[in-house]
Structure 1
Amino acid sequence: MQLSKPKLLIVDELGYLPLEPAAAHLFFQLVSRRYERASLLITSNRPVGEWGQVFGDAVAATAILDRLLHHSQVVTIRGDSYRLRDKRRSGLLQKAAAEPITSTS
């Protein structure tokens, strides 16, 4: 498997779309092959508690997380992405209002 060879493999936006069962199985194999051999950096907009939904299987998600979190450094970033922040600063996008705006005509 070619993806097990790089010293650092970056997987961006894991969980943006749910994985099909075959893809979840392949991802588990990838993580297992890299476990304690090479670095893996993963970004996701989904908390690890939702990874069972991402992989379509809570058992597979637990096995993957067990290997990923064993020697990991988890960095949690909250707030808008840089893209949204830039749009808001430029005035092209307004922050969501706390209450919906209703019209009475």
Structure 2
Amino acid sequence: MNILSSNYQRTSIIITSNKSFEEWTEVFGDNVITTAILDRLVHHSELFSLTGDSYRMTHRKTFLTA
């Protein structure tokens, strides 16, 4: 998490995830740390939520059935 702290308000960071913010505590294991990370990530941020089928997963399904 040092990369987020050291680059906070200094550079652009792009993060993609298939987890909702509510599920991030499972990833980081601590509610306080997760809240601090999300506070820094969403401050001055543009958030995009994409829905629909994943191109990679669709392609992977056809690869696995071939």
Output the TM-score relative to the length of structure 1.
0.54
Tell me which amino acid in the other structure corresponds to 1:74.
L
Structure 2: segments with no counterpart, 5+ residues: none
* Counterpart among 2, 5, 13 of residue 40 in structure 1: 13
Structure 1: segments with no counterpart, 5+ residues: 1-26, 94-105
**1:5-84 superposed matches below 5 A:** 27=1, 29-84=2-57
Which protein is bigger by CA-based radius of gyration?
1
Tell me which amino acid in the other structure corresponds to 2:50.
I
* Partner SS state of residue 14, structure 2: strand
Q: Which has the higher strand share?
A: 1
